Structure 1
Amino acid sequence: MNEELKYQTIKLLVDTNGNKKTAALRIGCSLRHINRLISGYRKTGKSFFVHGNQGRQPAHTVDSETKQLIIDLYRTRYYGTNFQHFQELLGEHEAIQVSISVVRSALASAFILSPKACRITKKNLKKQLEAMQQSTTSKKQSAAITASILAIEDAHPRRPRCAFFGEMLQMDASLHHWFGDEKSQLHIAVDDATNTIVGAYFDRQETLNGYYHILHQILNNHGIPYMFFTDRRTVFEYKQKKSPSLEGDTFTQFGYACKQLGIDIKTSSVPQAKGRVERMFQTLQSRLPFELQLAGATTLEQANEFLNSYIKKFNAQFALAIDHTKSVFELQPNPEKINLTLAVLSNRKVDNGHCIRFNNRYFRLLDAKGLPVYHYKGTSGMVIQAFDQSLFFCVGKIVYVLDEIPKHEQTSKNFDFVQPVKKPRKRYIPPMSHPWKQASFERYVNKQAHRFDLPDLNF
C-alpha cells in the first residue's frame, strides 16, 4: 500500500507539475527525497517503487519441506504435546533445530492449536475457519475445514459428576519422567463424585501388578466400589487374538477378581470420556516430579512410599468434601479375602516327578498337615498366586500348598553327624468357599473368549 501511494503521488506530481511540498506532506518525507523519487520515476517508471527484497526469502527462512515435516511429525508421533515441549523433542529426537516461533507458525498454517491455547484463540480460529468454509466450493476442502473445527472445540464434554462417593472410579496410568533417569508408569484411581485419588502406585510398565495394588488400596481404605471406568488396554480388554499364556491375559485376571467382588467394569477407547483422571494427570505431572525430587526418591520403592503421605496432602488440597452419608462403598472385605481375591491364576500340569513348574522353579504339593501329595503325570490344575505371593494349587475341588524344592539339600546324611528331626509343619489352606474353583474360572475364561471371538482356552 505504501508503494502504491508513493507511485500515485509522484505520477500525479509529474503529470500536473504540482506542488512538491504538498506531495512531501502526503508521503511523509523531505523535498530532497521527493526529487529522488521523481528522478527514479522518469528513468524506470513504476518498477522503481517496488522494494528490492520483494519476492526474496530471508536467509534464515525455513523451507516448506521442513515445515511440512514438522506438521506431519506432530500429527503422527507427538500429537498432544505443547508447542514448547514439541520444539525440544524435535531437536532431541529428530535433529530439527528450529525456534518456537517457527513451530508455532508451521502448526498454525495447518490450523493446529496448542493444547494450552486459551479460549479466545480457539474462538478466533474457529471464526476464521467458518468464514473459509462458507467461501469454498470444494467438498474435499470443506470436509477438511469441518474436521479442523471439530478438533478446536472443547475435547472434554461437560457432564455432571456422579451423585455418590464410590459410584464410579476412573482408572488409568501415565508414562512420564516422574523420578530418576527412566520413565515410569503412575497408576491412579480417581473418584468421579469427589475428585479424590483413592489409589496410586508406581511401576515400570502399565501392568496387572499396578492395578492390583490400586485395588488393594481401595479395598483396605474404602471398601468395594460400584464401578471402574477404564480405557481399552490389555489390562482390561482383549487386543490380541491369541494370548501367549493365561497369566499374561490380564483382562481375565483383573476382570475375574472384580467379578468375585461384584464390581462392574466399563471401558472406552476415547480418552476424553474419562476427563477426571486425564485432568488429574495434568496436575500431577506439573507437581509430583518436583515433590519426589525434593524427597530424594530415586527408586520405585521410595516413590511408592512417598505416595502414601503425598496423596493425603494432595486430596486435602484438591479433592471435594466427602459426604459419608452418600457413599456407596460396600464394607471392606477382611484382609484374607482381599489377599486371595487379588490373585494371579494360571493353568499347569503335574510332571513325571509329581511336581509343578512355575516361574522356572519346581514345587511339590502339600496338604494341610504338611505331608506331600502325589498325582499322576499330566493331572491338570490351577496355580493360585495370592497378592502376598503365597502359592496354592487347585485340582478339581481340592486346594494344596506349593512348597518350593531347593536345588541342593541343606544338610548331608553322610557328613552331618547330628541330623535334625523334621516334623511335617501344618500349612494353612484356604477353604473352598472362596470362588477360585477351577471349573468356575474355566467358565469365565471361555465366556470372555466367546465374547471376543477367540478360541476356547482349554486346560
Structure 2
Amino acid sequence: MDEQLKYEVIKSLADHPNGNKDRAALTLGCTRRHINRMLAGYKKYGKAFFVHGNRGRKPATTIPDETRRSIIDLYRTKYYDANFCHFSELLEKYEQITVSPSCVSSILESEYILSPKVTKAKRKRIKKELENKKKSAKTQKEADTIQANLVAVEDAHSRRPRCAYFGEMQQMDATPYEWIPGETWHLHLAVDDSTGRITGAWFDTQETLNGYYHVFHQILTTYGIPYKFFTDRRTVFTYKKKNSPSLDEDTYTQFAYACKQLGVLLESSSVPQAKGRVERLNQTLQSRLPIELRLAGITTIDAANEFLNSYIKEFNEKFALPIHSSKSVFETQPSDEKINLILAVLNERTVDCGHSIQFNHNYYRMIDCNGKQIHYRKGTKVMTIQAFDGRLFCCVNDKEVYALEQIPEHEEKSKELDADYQKPKEKKPYIPPMNHPWRRSLFKKHVAAQPHHCDDKKIA
C-alpha cells in the first residue's frame, strides 16, 4: 500500500509540472529532496522504481522448509507430548537444530499443533480461529483434522509468596503417572519453597512410607535438617482413627515420629492449592521427565531412580533460584548411623514356641552382641525395627536391643555327608545403643504430647 501511494503521488507530480512538492512531501512523510529523487527515478524506470528491492526474497534468518518439516515430524513421532520450550532444548541437545521456543511455537501452531501447556488465552483465541476455519472447510476430512488439534489445558494453581529462607519449608507430594509406556509409578518429591529447588525425588510402585523415607534421606544427607515439611493429609503423615467418636483425635505415624526426633515441624493440608509449588512441579515433570526417560532407554524402576540423581541436578541448574541469594536455615547434617536408625519402620511381633519371630514371611532369631542366640518364652511381645539400610533389630520390654538373624529353611550343606562342610563362623553383630529412638515408651510420650491424641496402642 505504501508503494502504491508513492507511485500515485509522484505520477501526479510528473503529470502536472506545476504541482506542489511540499504538499507531496507532507503526504508521504519525507523531505522535498527525496521527492525530487523519486521523480527522477520514476522518469527513468517507471512504476518498477517503487517496488521494494527485497520483494520476493526470503530473509537471511528464514528457517529452510526442510528444517521446518523435520521439526514437525520429530515432534509428531519422537518428542510428542513435550512442551515447546522443552522441545526446543531437546532439538538442540539431540538433533543439533537450534531454534527458539517462539519459533517452534509458530511452526507447530501453523499445523494446528498446540502445546500441552498452552495458556487459556491462546487456547481460546486459537479455538475461535479454528472454529471459523472449520465452518469454511470444504471437506469433512479437513474439518475433522482441525477439530482433532484442539488441546485442553489444565487449570493453574493460585500463587502464594515464597518463604524467606532456604530450608524453611519443604513441600512434599507423590504423583502417579505412566512415566514409561505400560508402567505407572509414583514419583515422591520434595521441593524447597524459597528457591524452587528439588531437594529429593524417588520412584516407587505406590505412595508409601518407603518412598518418603528415601526423599527424607536425600534431604538429610545432601542439605541437612529442614525446618518444616508441608504435605497433604496422607496416612503416611497423619490420619483420623476410623471408629473414633471425635474428629479431633489423630493417630500419629512413624514419619511424624521421625520428624519429631530430628526437630522438624510437620504440617498438612487437604487443599492442593496450599502446596501449589510441588503441585505445579508435578505437572512440569509429567511433561518433561517421560521424554527424558524414553530417550535414556530407561525400562526399570531401579534404573529410573538412578537416572533421577543426574537429572535433578540438571533440572535445578536450569530452573531453581540460586541458593547463595537466600539464607539457609538447614541444621547440621546428622551422622549416617543416626539417619539410618531414625528412618526406621517399627512393627510389633510375638515370640513363638521356637524362640523366634516371623517377619515378612521369614523366621528370625534374636542375637546378642556376642553372636549368641537369646531365648524368650512364647508370647513375649517384641518390637521389630527395620532400619533404613534394611538391617533388622528388635527391642524387648524397652530394655534390650538385639540383632535379628534369618533362619534358613534348609541347611546349605550337611555336616554328616559333605566332606567340605565347615561350621559357619560366629560374627558379632552390631547392636545399637540404648539411646535409640525406637522405644515404645518414647513413642507414647510423643503421642501424649500432641494437642489431640487417642488411646490406640497400635503404632501406625
Structure 1 segments, 4+ long, off by >6 Å, are none
AA in 2 matched with 1:408: H
* 1:116 Cα deviation from its structure 2 partner: 5.8
CA distance, structure 1, for counterparts of residue 117 and residue 311 of structure 2: 28
* 1:360 Cα deviation from its structure 2 partner: 1.1
Equivalent of 1:440 in 439, 442, 459: 442
1:181 aligns with 2:182: yes
**1:167 aligned residue:** 168
1:356 aligns with 2:360: no
CA distance, structure 1, for counterparts of residue 178 and residue 421 of structure 2: 55
CA distance, structure 1, for counterparts of residue 342 and residue 380 of structure 2: 24
- Contact 1:235–1:251 (CA under 8 A) maintained in structure 2: no
* 1:303 Cα deviation from its structure 2 partner: 0.8
SS, match of residue 179 in structure 2: coil
1:286 aligns with 2:287: yes
Alignment of 1:402-441 (within 5 A): 402-417=404-419, 419-441=421-443
* 1:178 Cα deviation from its structure 2 partner: 1.1
**1:339 aligned residue:** 340
CA distance, structure 1, for counterparts of residue 459 and residue 344 of structure 2: 20
* 1:352 Cα deviation from its structure 2 partner: 1.2
CA distance, structure 1, for counterparts of residue 251 and residue 305 of structure 2: 22
**2:152 aligned residue:** none
Q: 1:418 to 1:308 in 2, by over 3 A?
A: closer
Which region of structure 1 is more displaced relative to structure 2, 173-182 or 206-215? Answer: 173-182
CA distance, structure 2, for counterparts of residue 455 and residue 283 of structure 1: 41
Alignment of 1:291-370 (within 5 A): 291-323=292-324, 326-370=327-371
Per the normalisation by structure 2, the TM-score is 0.63
CA distance, structure 1, for counterparts of residue 392 and residue 306 of structure 2: 26
SS, match of residue 190 in structure 1: strand
Alignment of 1:19-418 (within 5 A): 118=120, 156-239=157-240, 241=242, 252-323=253-324, 326-395=327-396, 396-417=398-419
5+ long unaligned stretches in structure 2: 1-115, 125-154, 245-249
Q: 1:324 to 1:430 in 2, by over 3 A?
A: farther
**1:82 aligned residue:** none
- Contact 1:198–1:217 (CA under 8 A) maintained in structure 2: yes
Which region of structure 1 is more displaced relative to structure 2, 405-414 or 220-229? Answer: 405-414
**1:38 aligned residue:** none
- Contact 1:165–1:193 (CA under 8 A) maintained in structure 2: yes
**1:33 aligned residue:** none
CA distance, structure 2, for counterparts of residue 388 and residue 458 of structure 1: 21
- Contact 2:186–2:207 (CA under 8 A) maintained in structure 1: yes
AA in 2 matched with 1:416: D
CA distance, structure 1, for counterparts of residue 433 and residue 163 of structure 2: 38
* 1:160 Cα deviation from its structure 2 partner: 1.8
SS, match of residue 267 in structure 1: strand
CA distance, structure 1, for counterparts of residue 117 and residue 320 of structure 2: 24
The superposition leaves residues 163-194 of structure 1 with CA deviations (integer Å, 9 ceiling, x where unpaired) of 11000000001111111312111111000000
- Contact 2:251–2:453 (CA under 8 A) maintained in structure 1: no
SS, match of residue 364 in structure 2: strand
The superposition leaves residues 239-285 of structure 1 with CA deviations (integer Å, 9 ceiling, x where unpaired) of 56279xxxxx9961111111111111110110001111111111111
SS, match of residue 383 in structure 1: strand
5+ long unaligned stretches in structure 1: 1-113, 123-153, 244-248
CA distance, structure 2, for counterparts of residue 438 and residue 314 of structure 1: 42
- Contact 2:166–2:326 (CA under 8 A) maintained in structure 1: no
CA distance, structure 1, for counterparts of residue 305 and residue 253 of structure 2: 26
Per the normalisation by structure 1, the TM-score is 0.63
- Contact 2:165–2:327 (CA under 8 A) maintained in structure 1: yes
CA distance, structure 2, for counterparts of residue 250 and residue 312 of structure 1: 37
SS, match of residue 323 in structure 1: helix
SS, match of residue 435 in structure 1: coil
SS, match of residue 395 in structure 2: strand
Q: 1:180 to 1:121 in 2, by over 3 A?
A: closer
CA distance, structure 1, for counterparts of residue 240 and residue 289 of structure 2: 32
SS, match of residue 161 in structure 1: coil
CA distance, structure 2, for counterparts of residue 372 and residue 295 of structure 1: 49
* 1:354 Cα deviation from its structure 2 partner: 0.7
CA distance, structure 2, for counterparts of residue 332 and residue 223 of structure 1: 4
CA distance, structure 1, for counterparts of residue 363 and residue 352 of structure 2: 10
SS, match of residue 291 in structure 1: helix
- Contact 2:185–2:204 (CA under 8 A) maintained in structure 1: yes
* 1:422 Cα deviation from its structure 2 partner: 4.0
Q: 1:366 to 1:324 in 2, by over 3 A?
A: farther
**1:32 aligned residue:** none
Aligned-pair Cα RMSD in Å: 2.8
AA in 1 matched with 2:321: L
CA distance, structure 1, for counterparts of residue 420 and residue 176 of structure 2: 57
SS, match of residue 315 in structure 1: helix
* 1:159 Cα deviation from its structure 2 partner: 2.7
CA distance, structure 2, for counterparts of residue 439 and residue 228 of structure 1: 25
* 1:385 Cα deviation from its structure 2 partner: 0.1
CA distance, structure 2, for counterparts of residue 422 and residue 308 of structure 1: 39
The superposition leaves residues 373-404 of structure 1 with CA deviations (integer Å, 9 ceiling, x where unpaired) of 01111111110000111000001221000000
CA distance, structure 2, for counterparts of residue 257 and residue 157 of structure 1: 32
AA in 2 matched with 1:283: T
